[in-house]
Amino acid sequence: MPLSVYTAGTTLYKTDACYNGLTVILLKGEKGPEVALINMEGEPVKRWAMDDAKGGGVPRARLLPNGNLLVLRQARGPSGCVQEYDWDGHLVWAYAPQDGLQVHHDVEKTADGNTLVLSREEVPEEIRSKAKEPERREMLYADVIQEISPEKEVVWEWHQCEHLDINLCCKVPAPVDWWAGAENNTLVDWTHTNTIQSLPENRWFDSGDERFRPGNVLMSLRQLDLVMIADRESKEIVWTYTGDYKGGLSGQHDSHMVEKGLPGEGNIIIFDNGASPTTDLSHCGASFVLEVDPEQKKTIWVYDQREQFHSNFTSSCQRLPNGNTLILEAAHKRLFEVTQEYEIVWEHVFAEPPFIQRAYRYGSGYCPQLENLL
């Protein structure tokens, strides 16, 4: 019989072994969702109440180096948007895409101050008509990535449906009547991108590998068990990764290149959910965090605890400055920090909804405003 009562709160804290800081999470506020910074004891020390003009949940929130907060507001239909709040909670910038696009899953500020936005769009009829399955010919969605200037101009965009084989699709289909809804089943929700990143400066490009030019866009396509890079200038797909650890990627999330100055810089880390593995039984009911050398496509480090660690959907991972990795096992509302030797040195279990999809930690030097909270 499964447990019905769980330990909640900060259950483990080895002070000297941790990267101490504040972690961005989502909380339930009195008037709607709130984004908060929690300390190492799990106590909220800063909150931002969300402006509900556009409504929706907050699947992604990122603290910016100037102390502002960048959030994605996701809702069914066209009501989602991107919002930026200053440290005092004032809404200072917002962007909603044109009709026909639905923002979802991720948003990121680029090095030059623009905003990278991920939206879902309907695949044009002339493309989807080539699909083998009749359901996909009738209704099909993919994603478009747009870069938005501070003046809200689209300065770059990339449509997945123009670059992918229409018949490259999920190997484990879900029926049109499954719980996520007809428009979200794996037949018509073709790519289901969940993470985008404008590549940072990195050692691969410094040594002459043009595939990893800063500004090229790294993306995670969950339905296709695929992580890939699109060249910003040519718009060609220049790098792909499906993995080879215990059968390869399976519904992965939060793929991103580790920035310069952090241990593992230039490598790509990925939360491999194990949502629907197709080739290796040992991936069933098990999630992995992978660190990959992208040039050789070689696995450098893996966090693998077999069936003791699993989140079939969402979740995140972050390389910390001390070499540890912060991992969100979202399905079980468990957030923990683990060393390179696989020792858990900090753990927090959330007691109640809302469902936490992403979590990121920031140290005292990240922005000036944090100095007074640590």
Long-range pairs of 152-156 with CB within 8 A, sequence gap ≥ 24: 152/95, 155/114, 156/232
pLDDT at 187: 83
Amino acid at 58: V
C-alpha dihedral sign at 20, 61, 368, 340: positive
Strand order in the sheet with 334-338: 9-13, 344-349, 334-338, 325-329, 316-319
Say how far apart CA 176 and CA 345 lie, in whole Å.
Answer: 43
Q: Residue 325: is it exposed, middle or buried by C-beta count within 10 angstroms (0-12/13-18/19+)? A: buried
pLDDT at 79: 66
Q: Residue 17: is it exposed, middle or buried by C-beta count within 10 angstroms (0-12/13-18/19+)? A: middle
Q: Residue 356: which residues within 8 A CB-CB, separation 6 or more?
A: 25, 26, 328, 330, 333, 335, 350
Architecture of domain 9-372: 6 Propeller (2.120)
Q: Residue 211: is it exposed, middle or buried by C-beta count within 10 angstroms (0-12/13-18/19+)? A: middle
374 residues of the chain, pLDDT tens digit each: 344 456 789 999 999 999 999 999 988 888 888 999 999 999 999 999 987 755 678 889 999 999 999 999 987 666 689 999 999 999 999 999 987 899 999 999 999 999 999 999 999 999 999 999 998 999 999 999 999 999 999 999 999 999 999 999 888 877 777 777 777 788 889 999 999 999 999 999 999 999 999 999 999 999 999 999 999 999 999 999 999 999 999 999 999 999 999 999 999 999 999 988 888 888 999 999 999 999 999 999 999 999 999 999 999 999 999 999 999 999 989 999 999 999 999 999 998 765 678 999 999 999 999 998 98
Say how far apart CA 257 and CA 294 lie, in whole Å.
Answer: 9
Say how far apart CA 374 and CA 359 lie, in whole Å.
Answer: 18
pTM of the entire predicted model: 0.95
List the chain domain ranges.
9-372
pLDDT at 2: 44
